[in-house]
Amino acid sequence: MKHTTVRRISAALTSLLLLTFVLVLPVSADMGPKPQITITVINPPEGEYYLDLLEQHDPGDTLYSNLNDEELTALPEAVRTTLHGYHDSGWQAALTVGTRIPLFGNLTGKPQADGTVLHTFSYHGTPNEYRIIIVMPDGSYTVSDTLVRKAFRQTVTYDFAAGTAVNETSVPLAYLTHFAVTCSSTLLLEGVLLWAFGFFSRRNLLPFFGINLVTQIALTAITGTTLIFSGSFGAYIMFILCEIGIFLAEAIACAFLLDGHGRGRRVLYSLTANLVSATMGWMLIGALFGIIF
């Protein structure tokens, strides 16, 4: 390898690593986020109200108390009676009565500047299937239709006046976002190194795009699915396993499909490019989690 080529590769690697550091510096990857349901109540009732989730329980279930005695005592008696007494076909108040696994949240929400009210429920006891119950201080209440949490975190808009709840979390959009971010960053980083290693030519563009398209689709299908449905902690683990396969597959593909120079240099390019893009991909997982959810 010529001395000028070595300098070019060194300069490209240094620039890309610095770019990676700058892009991810503000990002703090959450290694252990918890499932969450965020409910935005629009057209909320006037005055004070209390919002809980309803979850189905079997009669013999052992339930974890999510509110302490002080919190329960602070509730208006009519509200406490309504929430404790609600037992429609096994549906019970998650915070007030309890859940099989702990659930965090508050019965009162946070008023927003636009007049809506924000309610957040999280932790391992966050239900996959639930209803929303709103109770007024006099004990009267309304209950939504059954909602299903299809992703790790879900955002719901609940129109109290209309009595309708809409799931705002789009799984297809989450997949598209994951693929767009990871694929574009990979093409940029590995494209610079394709030039630095002396492989940037019209004949090499087709295999370059083809190889990366296949691997990015696979990465989104595996790591993206884990991120969307299980959170970032599982995504980090699956990312490592995927990258092991990608390193091997792309090294073989580049050795036989790239044109020019020897196979050793083609493999070296592949390993170097994957190391840089994998570093970026690892650091992007936390950012992607924040973008998607």
- pLDDT tens digit string along 151-210? 999 999 999 999 999 999 999 999 999 999 999 999 999 999 999 999 999 999 999 999
What pLDDT, on a 0 to 100 scale, did the predictor assign at position 265?
95
Is the CB of residue 64 less than 8 Å from the CB of residue 100?
yes
pLDDT at 140 over 60: yes
Residue 265: partners with Cβ closer than 8 Å, 6 or more residues away: 1, 197, 198
pLDDT at 24 over 50: no
| Residue labelled with tokens 């932790």 | 123
Which tokens hold the place of 134?
């709103």
pLDDT band for position 37 (cuts 50, 70, 90): very high
Angle between helices 202-219 and 232-257 (to 10 degrees): 150
| Residue labelled with tokens 């570093």 | 279
Residue 33: partners with Cβ closer than 8 Å, 6 or more residues away: 152, 153, 231, 232, 233, 289
Query: pLDDT averaged over the chain?
Result: 90
Whole-model pTM: value is 0.82
Is the CB of residue 34 less than 8 Å from the CB of residue 124?
yes
Q: CA 280 from chain center: how many Å?
A: 17
Q: How far apart are CA 161 and CA 42, in angstroms?
A: 8
The length of the chain is: 293
What does residue 274 show for φ and ψ, rounded to 5 degrees?
-70, -35
CA distances to 97, 200, 215, 268, 279 from 245, in Å: 48, 25, 9, 16, 15
pLDDT band for position 89 (cuts 50, 70, 90): confident
